[in-house]
Amino acid sequence: MALLHNRVSNEELKQRLMEETIHRITISFYSYFEIVNPKEFRDYLYKHLQLLQVFGRIYVANEGINSQISVPENNFEAFKVFLYSIEPLNGLRLNIAVDDDGKSFWVLKVKVREKIVADGIDDPLFNMHQKGKYVDAESMNTLLEDPSTIVVDMRNHYEYEVGHFVKALEVPSDTFRDQLPMAVDMLQGNEDKNIIMYCTGGIRCEKASAYMLHKGFKNVFHLEGGIINYAKQIKDKALDSKFLGKNFVFDNRLGERITQDVIAHCHQCGKPCDTHTNCANNGCHLLFIQCADCAATYQGCCSAACKETIDMPVERQKEIRKGINHGQNIFNKSKVRLRPKLSEIQKEKGN
């Protein structure tokens, strides 16, 4: 019987990835559909994807599937044949990375979750099938030309900070479950306006659009395939990009460049920079933005204190960091702005 989970250390798997000579394609996809037995479906996926040498992260729940994976180029067609053999996934759009070195994942993990995106929704009347209208890149650009259009970024602060659409409103939280009610609160009084929700690959903004309709908003849209698909479409159709900067991605790359605009700043010196990294102190591991000069000065650490610990044994590093709370280990300067109203944001931006 085939093993249905990995038994090799992460260090060895990373080394194997670096030594691979085959080219890999990084893709993401999701679909909301009913899965009666998620555990059985999970095992079925793992068994077949392992044979195709697929790496990545897949979540399975009663409400559907959410995947970010890399596939060997020579197995890509076989992968599509397998995926499309699953009836609810037949013909599903695959978001292909636009800035990809093929080293995004080094192991396959398929996990059963309560939901494919944690939303905190417990209202039995909420219906994912009643969702907003899809917009493609061309329609997105057209809607953005209308000054009355409201664009809402349904990603976390650290994603928004390095890249976002022009005019996009940030919902200042690092959890999707908190962003949903915050978005409703921010947009009160704009129930009849055109509202576009967007996110990385489409999964969060699709659910957000359904939630906004559930809460009484009438003209709700969401960007089909998210930023990843938008970037592909503007390239294929030679359209102007209304998205500026980098698209943060949840794999080893930590970002793919959409335009050359650098709209973020180093969290240590303030220079223009949009390179995310994790603190080299394993007892800290804070996700933050660091320029090349500060990386050299602090040896990849987020602070002088962390720099002092990196040559110590790992257990000693963790002991020193014990009791220091970084929240989700993400640098976030947006949390000082709790539940701002749309009118307050527009005033701040001079609109």
208 part of a folded domain: yes
Tell me if residue 222 falls in helix, strand or coil. strand
pLDDT of residue 334: 43
| Start-end of H helices in the chain | 10-19, 38-51, 76-84, 137-145, 157-162, 176-186, 203-214, 226-236, 292-297, 304-309, 314-321, 342-349
pLDDT of residue 323: 58
pTM check: above 0.85: no
C-beta separation of 186 from 298 below 8 A = no
CATH number of the domain that residue 167 is part of:
3.40.250.10
CATH number of the domain that residue 28 is part of:
3.30.70.100
CA distance 112 to 204: 18
Between 93-102, 126-135, 168-177, 234-243, the lowest mean confidence (pLDDT) is in 93-102
Residues 96 and 177 in one domain: no
Does residue 88 register a pLDDT over 70?
A: yes
pLDDT of residue 333: 45
Residues 89 and 171 in one domain: no
Residues 90 and 143 in one domain: no
Between 48-52, 169-173, 312-316, 347-351, the lowest mean confidence (pLDDT) is in 347-351
C-beta separation of 276 from 253 below 8 A = no
pLDDT of residue 116: 93
23 part of a folded domain: yes
Does residue 20 register a pLDDT over 90?
A: no
CA distance 49 to 43: 10
Give the residue numbers spanning the domain of 101.
19-112
Q: Per the structure, how many domains does the chain have?
A: 3
Cβ atoms within 10 Å, residue 217: 21
pLDDT of residue 342: 46
pLDDT of residue 106: 77
CA distance 279 to 302: 5
Residues 108 and 137 in one domain: no
pLDDT of residue 22: 81
Does residue 12 register a pLDDT over 80?
A: no
Band of residue 141 on the pLDDT scale cut at 50, 70, 90? very high
8 part of a folded domain: no
Q: Between the CA of residue 343 and those of 23, 118, 187, 188, what are the distances in Å? A: 49, 29, 9, 10
- If one compares 347 and 15, the residue with the highest pLDDT of the two is 15
Average pLDDT, the chain: 85
Residues tagged active-site: 199
6 part of a folded domain: no
pLDDT tens digits, one per residue of 176-195 = 999 999 999 999 999 999 99
Over residues 327-333, mean pLDDT: 49
pLDDT of residue 340: 43
Cβ atoms within 10 Å, residue 172: 22
pLDDT tens digits, one per residue of 21-76 = 688 898 999 999 999 999 999 999 999 999 999 999 999 999 999 999 999 999 99
